[in-house]
Amino acid sequence: QVQLVESGGGLVKPGGSLRVSCTASGFIFSDYDMSWVRQAPGKGLEWVSSFSSSDSYTNYADSVKGRFTLSRDNAQKSLFLQMNSLRAEDTAVYYCARFIYSYATFDFWGQGTLVTVSS
Amino acid sequence: QSVVTQPPSASGTPGQRVTISCSGSNSNIGRNSVNWYQQLPGTAPKLLIYSNNQRLSGVPDRFSGSKSDTSASLAISGLQSEDEADYYCSTWDDSLNEVVFGGGTKLTVL
């Protein structure tokens, strides 16, 4: 069955950097678009970034553009989010999700990894 | 402030039918399909409905989705205590060129 497992979350100071990872299993990873969606404590869902499988196109929410970089390693079936210049408002659970572009839907989600930005 | 609006809360008694609305505009719901997610307390979101009214495999037929113009709805019939969760709608926004989520609706089963 499809599984997505995130790792790498933790506590980081404002202005710092962190890389979170997502390891996939149960499907042909290279065939699918992948995304990160975040959820601040007690708040709703916010799309962060997506990586197209077909043309390697990546796009980002305005709130993270220029600070976050999305990458993937198909051989390792992994998705990465490099987060730089972190701010307190980036504090959230970061979910890795498989993205079906034609429906603009996230059909499978990982359990999430918590990133806390605080001094 | 999300470009797609949901009521913050909804409630119902066991066995009842409840609906949750999702209101947008011509740049999002008016042109694109709507998806619905369920987030049980302390867990990750789970896709329930995609493409306005298509249930993901394994989702009970008590859950149904619909869309009309710039609004969509999720209906839950035969409400059960385990349906108590947060529900989110999402769609693509052509102006923002990204997926947008509604603010979420907390469903309470009384």
Q: What is the pLDDT of residue A23?
A: 98
Q: Residue B35 and residue A105: Cβ atoms within 8 Å? A: yes
Are A79 and A72 contacting, i.e. CB atoms less than 8 angstroms apart? yes
Q: Residue B2 and residue A44: Cβ atoms within 8 Å? A: yes
Q: What is the pLDDT of residue A54?
A: 76
**Residue A55 confidence (pLDDT) above 80:** no
* Residues from chain B contacting residue A63 (CB–CB below 8 Å): none
For residue range B50-94, list pLDDT tens digits in order. Answer: 999 999 999 999 999 999 999 999 999 999 999 999 999 999 999
Query: Residue A107 is which amino acid?
Result: D
Q: With an 8 Å Cβ cutoff, is B65 touching chain A? A: no
**Residue B21 confidence (pLDDT) above 90:** yes
Are B33 and B99 contacting, i.e. CB atoms less than 8 angstroms apart? no
Q: Residue A46 and residue B45: Cβ atoms within 8 Å? A: no
Within a 10 A sphere around the Cβ of B109, how many other Cβ atoms?
18
- Kindly report the average pLDDT of chain B as a whole number: 96
Q: Residue A44 and residue B102: Cβ atoms within 8 Å? A: yes
Q: What is the pLDDT of residue B47?
A: 97
* Residues from chain B contacting residue A59 (CB–CB below 8 Å): 97-98
Q: What is the pLDDT of residue A56?
A: 78
Q: What does the pLDDT average to over B25-48?
A: 97
Task: List strand residue ranges (DSSP E) for chain B, in order.
Answer: 9-12, 18-23, 34-39, 46-50, 54-55, 63-68, 71-76, 85-93, 98-101, 105-109
Diameter of chain A by CA atoms? 41
The pLDDT confidence band at residue A110, using thresholds 50, 70 and 90, is: very high
Of B32, B47, B98, the CB nearest to A47: B98
Q: What does the pLDDT average to over A74-86?
A: 96
